[in-house]
Amino acid sequence: PESTASPGHHHHRAHRRDPYPFQRIDLRSAMATLQAAINMKPGAVSGSAGGATLLRDDDSLLRQMFFGILRHHHPNLARKVDVIYALAQAWSNSSEDADFDMLQKYLADLKPEEKILVASSFSHMLNLHNLTEEVNQSEMERAFRLVEMESPTRTTNKSLMRLTTEKGYSAEEVYKQLCNQQVDLVLTAHPTQALRTSLLRKYAAVRQELSKLHTKRMSEYEKLECLEAIRANVQAAWRTDEIRRQQPTPQDEMRGGLAYMNSVIFDMVPVFHRRMDTALQQLGQPRLPLTHSLFTFGSWMGGDRDGNPNVTWETTRDVCLVARLEAANAYFRVIEALMFELSMWRCNARVKEYAHKLMSTDDHHFGRIADERKRRNYADFWVPSMTTEPFRVVLANIRDRLFITREVIHQCLIQPNMDMKAALRERSAYLDIEELYEPLKMMYDSLMETGDDSVANGRLLDLLRQLRTFGLAMMRLDVRQESTRHTEVMDTITQYLGMGSYAEWDEATRVEFLLQELQSKRPLMPSGMQASADVQEVIHTMRVLAEIPKDSLGAYVISMARTASDVLAVVLLQRECGVKDFLRVVPLFETLDDLTNAPQQMRTLLGNEWYRTHINGLQECMIGYSDSGKDAGRLAAAWALFEAQEKLVAVAQEYKIKLVLFHGRGGTVGRGGGPTHMAIRSQPAGTIDGTLRVTVQGEIIEQQFGEPEVCFRTLDVYTSAVLEACMDPPRAPKPEWREMMSKLSAISCSEYRGIVFQNPDFVPYFHTATPVSELGGLNIGSRPAKRKPGGGVGTLRAIPWIFAWTQTRLHLPVWLGIGEALEKAFEESGEDVLSDMYDNWPFFQGTIELIEMVLAKADPRIVSLYEKMLAPPALWPIGEELRARLTKVKSNILRVIHKQKLLEEVKPGDSRGGSGGHLDVKLSLRAPYVAPLNVLQCLCLTALRDVQENGEANAQFSPSDPEILDLLSRVPASRAIGAPSPFVQAMSDALLITIKGVAAGMQNTG
């Protein structure tokens, strides 16, 4: 085979006068191939056929562009990649074993350094293809809004019309519901975003330019410039190391989340509220109240310490400060812009009086203030404004206080022992949002009174909405800790005081003790108490919470909460550590047993008068989708979650308590993921009482908030779904549906556990036939893959559990056990009940359609490849059994949904849903990119495991080519003493790239 690197040729090319010989040729040809798509008239995207054509054209454009870049840097490799793509496409179209064998043999013959670059090529092409899907989705969203095609999901506009015309609600009733409705989106640092931020930004630029080609009228030259910009970013992405060489810190994760807030969400929230105002105006209703926001945002980044030793009390303090700093920066920019806009002199008496008061203070220090503002390098308006410009006087004061706020926060970041709240108060910095909101609202009222309503309802209105949504903290931080850590603290206290061992007490004794202490006025925790490092960490965290401004904090979530004492212990520890404004304590029910017992535990809590008084009529409970699915299988977990929600709401209503359910949903179906509207509409009636909290995890943050059009759509879908869930909830399931679901749940759970927890061959098969052991090298999150070292599936976190099966294309956690459950149901009850459930019950329909979508991504041929190459022959029988079960579940799902094949497009007017044919097109376009990555992953795993077992006798690889050495030198350890050999470095890099690539192809990690 030809050498990938041709150093002499390459370096000669680099010094040529025209370094881009392929660029102009490729751009011209690309222009020709895409001209029809670019010149599409607005209605051309209408229908799935138009959308699919646009998708194919965009995919072809970016692939051609990438090949041009690859030929420029690696001409010999480009030819091989072209051959591999053709072989993969042939196999994807034919499904013939002979075609797959040719692909496998060709890839096996690649040199180690070629494997790295080939893996990287296909990974990049997949990421570029995903951009075309995102642009295609944005184009379809635009077509939906222009009523050029029917939206498959209801928008808020449609929901408003449906509720007022079909469901008999008055416009006033809908308006009142919206005024009481709020969605809290909690961004989490769950390690499922496999792409580096450096690449995400370059791909975002490509997406933006590609979108311009379809939406903006441009001359021929402008189109060429747009394509040049795309090529520049594609080239920059190709020349960027896609592997994270260092594990991110929680602070890094927080900054990553804040990047979405600053670049997209902060600006799109007021835009969405404006659209809502316009929609309400069409119904004859006023604007939404300025004091109300439809959304708030929370974060777990730097607060989620469950099983993550990297999150400490210092981390929590840091991320709160960083978030407050970002909020101050964002408001500072808006205030400076408003100072240019609000130049008018006419105002009401209140603003005039306030401006005079501020001016009278400034007059005494005129020169000093001007010099100080000059030093701060403000955009303009260094000299104090005159009272003839009263709005600028008020805004200048706000700007000064925001600048001071930023300075104080900077100092607090540098000095970890500085008291945050005291420092902010001392410098008259902003500590309470009302101090910032009131003068701005006063100016808004003044403009409205003087008839300048168009000015008032411009940027100033947007700012007021932003203040109500984001506050001074941008995102409120939740703290999460495992229940046993609090038990350890309580046990340390009671033993130190000679009261016995709290850990050994039964539940009744614990509850009695905790309630007695909570009602006592004396402190419990002694000063100078000796404690372990883990106990000290919990206590330090509680004390930091007392120091952090209350508007920076959200809830205190207790994972693995199983008893009422778990909640009461956290309330007591907050009091003992000086927390004045208590964080609401939220038990997280995760496993099947926890969900089953949750209603009784909440009854114990709410049945206590002291606790009811303490929570002031509001209780929040979190339900976990990830661990319940890993514990019992997807179907049993879904039904347990459904029933637990119904029962928790009933208990809360019994005690006249408002219950807020916090949904801990992951990105994948195996962890509760799926389309937002479907997920919300399939919840039990009455469980979303105007308020919804939900996690947005990992790669889903990018998918829902990566660019403005998508962000707007996300806000729209949440608003529409919650509005309908409250005003038009799904009907209660029929008794026969409940009976059927209980049977399906019991059988599927038994079958699932029989394989996962009881079959002795399963765990060895899982560890050998998947890359689960190698996932840690991805460095995609700050926390370990396991809660505890060692152990089997039980100690493994849900994310690597899902991630590993996604890589092998088996997707086992989503469907295992369901085929047998459906088969039994068909035998005993026929098809009528299941068909009725699918046609008329949103919960069941949504669950089945998500399983259908995942099954369409599964590929038993790829699964078999992993098994034959990686698992010992003694374990092959369990693999064959799993693939037989996969075949069974596919056929039984098709019986339920009345289709001949998965993802078959439903007929127009069919009342049933369906994943539709458009996803089928997307999967077929991704297939030729994903298959080579799967094969390469198996080859790399085989080679690395062989070295691990037998040493490097069979792995002779001593490159001398400078470019290959340069390629391998990206590994930080490569220069250290005792560093891995070049062969191991090459295989490790290639493996990690394939893992990222397959994740991109499945559009899911964990």
Evaluate if residue 469 carries a pLDDT over 60.
Answer: yes
Q: What is the DSSP string of 434-495?
A: HHHHHHHHHHHHHHHHTT-HHHIIIIIHHHHHHHHHHTTTSSEEEEEEEHHHHHHHHHHHHH
* Maximum distance among all Cα pairs of the chain, rounded to whole angstroms: 90
663 touches 694 (CB < 8 A):
yes
Give the model confidence (pLDDT) of 190-219 as tens digits. 444 456 777 878 888 898 898 888 888 888
Assign 394 a pLDDT band (cuts: 50, 70, 90): very high
Q: What are the φ/ψ torsions at residue 745 (nearest 5 degrees)?
A: -65, -45
Contact 127, 196 (CB under 8 A): no
Q: How far apart are CA 811 and CA 789, in angstroms?
A: 25
Q: Residue 264 carries which DSSP code?
A: I
Active-site choice (72, 115, 202, 630): 630
Mean pLDDT score of the chain: 85
How much is the pLDDT for 790?
52
Per DSSP, 296 falls in state: E
Question: Mean pLDDT, to the nearest integer, of 679-687?
Answer: 87
Please pick, among 129, 190, 223, 918, the residue that the annotation labels catalytic: 190
User: Residue 884 contacts by C-beta under 8 Å, 6 or more apart in sequence?
Assistant: none
Structure tokens at 703: 């998918």
| Residue 912: pLDDT over 50 | no
* Alpha-carbon gap, residue 290 to 834, rounded angstroms: 47
User: Residues of 310-332 as b/e, b for ≥16 C-beta within 10 angstroms?
Assistant: bbbbebbbbbbbbbbbbbbbbbb
- Contacts by residues 106-113 (CB-CB < 8 Å, ≥ 24 positions apart): 107/932, 107/935, 107/936, 107/939, 108/939, 109/1, 110/1, 110/80, 111/1, 111/3, 111/4, 112/957, 112/982, 112/983, 112/986, 112/987, 112/990, 113/4, 113/5, 113/959, 113/964, 113/967, 113/968, 113/986
Residue with more model confidence, 885 or 6: 885
- 931: confidence class by pLDDT, cuts 50, 70, 90: very high
- How many beta carbons lie within 10 A of that of residue 732, not counting itself? 13
How far apart are the C-alpha atoms of 94 and 950, rounded to whole Å? 38
pLDDT tens for 746-767 read 999 999 999 999 999 999 999 9
Give the pLDDT band of residue 152 (cuts 50, 70, 90): low
**Which among 731, 695, 958 is positioned nearest to 843, based on CA atoms?**
731
Q: Kindly report the three-state secondary structure assignment for every residue of 34-61.
A: HHHHHCCCHHHHCHHHHHHHHHHHHHHH
H/E run at residue 633? none
Q: How far apart are CA 222 and CA 294, in angstroms?
A: 40
Work out whether the CA dihedral 260, 262, 266, 272 comes out positive or negative.
negative
SS3 for 996?
A: helix
When pLDDT is averaged across residues 557-586 and rounded to a whole number, the result is 95
CA-CA distance, 816 to 889, in Å (whole number)?
Answer: 8
Residue 826: both structure tokens together = 């068909």
pLDDT, tens digit (0-9, with 9 covering 90-100), for 81-121: 999 999 999 999 998 999 999 999 999 999 888 898 999 99
pLDDT at 424: 94
d(CA 864, CA 878) in angstroms, rounded, equals 11
What Rg do the C-alpha atoms of the chain give, in angstroms? 30
Residue 535 CA to its chain's centroid (Å)? 31
CA torsion angle for 82, 88, 91, 97 (degrees, to 10)? 110
> In the prediction, which pLDDT does 908 show?
45
Q: Looking at the predicted structure, is the pLDDT value of residue 864 above 70?
A: yes
More confident residue, 149 or 107: 107
Residue type, 535: V
E-strand stretches of 311-371: none
Q: What is the predicted pLDDT for the residue at 364?
A: 53
Q: Is the confidence at residue 362, as pLDDT, over 80?
A: no
> pLDDT category, 875, cuts 50, 70, 90?
very high
* β strands within 602-731, DSSP E: 618-624, 658-664, 691-697
pLDDT tier for residue 53 given thresholds of 50, 70 and 90: confident
- Most confident region among 11-20, 230-239, 981-990 by mean pLDDT: 230-239
Percent of the chain with pLDDT over 90: 59
Place of tokens 């790239």: 993
pLDDT digits (tens, 9 = 90+) for 956-970: 666 666 666 677 666
Pairing of strands 691-697, 618-624: unpaired
pLDDT for the residue numbered 257: 83
Tell how far CA 952 is from the center of its chain: 41
Instruction: Give one word for 451, left, alpha or beta, with left for phi > 0 and alpha for psi -120 to 50.
Output: left
Both tokens assigned to 606: 């709410």
**Active-site residue flag, 9:** no
Model confidence at 272: pLDDT above 80: yes
Name 618's bridge partners: 658
Confidence of residue 352 (pLDDT cuts 50, 70, 90): very high
8 Å CB contact between 660 and 691: yes
Distance, CA of 674 to CA of 666 (rounded, Å): 9
Is 190 marked active-site?
yes
pLDDT for residue 12: 36
Quickly state the pLDDT bin for 19 (edges 50, 70, 90): very low
The two beta strands, 658-664 and 691-697, are parallel
- Give dist(CA 18, CA 127) in Å, integer: 29
| Strands in 672-814 per DSSP E | 691-697
- pLDDT classification of 4: cutoffs 50, 70, 90: very low
For residue 996, what are the contacts with CB-CB under 8 A and spacing of at least 6? 123, 194, 195, 242, 243, 778
By C-alpha distance, which of 943, 924, 812, 821 is closest to 870? 943
Residue type, 358: L
Q: Which residues partner with 299 through β-bridges?
A: 187, 477
CA 582 centroid distance within chain: 28
Q: Which amino acid is at 84?
A: I
Q: Quick count: other Cβ atoms within 10 Å of Cβ 388?
A: 10
State the pLDDT at residue 136: 84
Q: How far is CA 158 from CA 27, 685, 713, 716, in A?
A: 42, 21, 13, 11
Which whole-number Å values give the CA distances from 366 to 371, 383, 935, in the listed order?
9, 8, 73
- Give yes or no for residue 512 having a pLDDT over 80: yes
**Tokens 């809908």 map to which residue?**
174
Helix (H, G, I), strand (E, B) or coil at 153: coil
List phi, psi (to 5°) of 187.
-80, 130
pLDDT at 895 over 70: yes
- pLDDT per position as a tens digit, 770-817: 998 887 655 554 445 444 545 556 656 667 888 899 999 999 999 999
- Would you call 611 exposed, middle or buried from its count of C-beta atoms within 10 A (0-12, 13-18, 19+)? buried
- In this prediction, residue 38 has a pLDDT band, given cuts at 50, 70 and 90, of very low
Average pLDDT over residues 702-726: 89
Structure tokens at 187: 């961004």
What's the predicted TM-score (pTM) here?
0.87
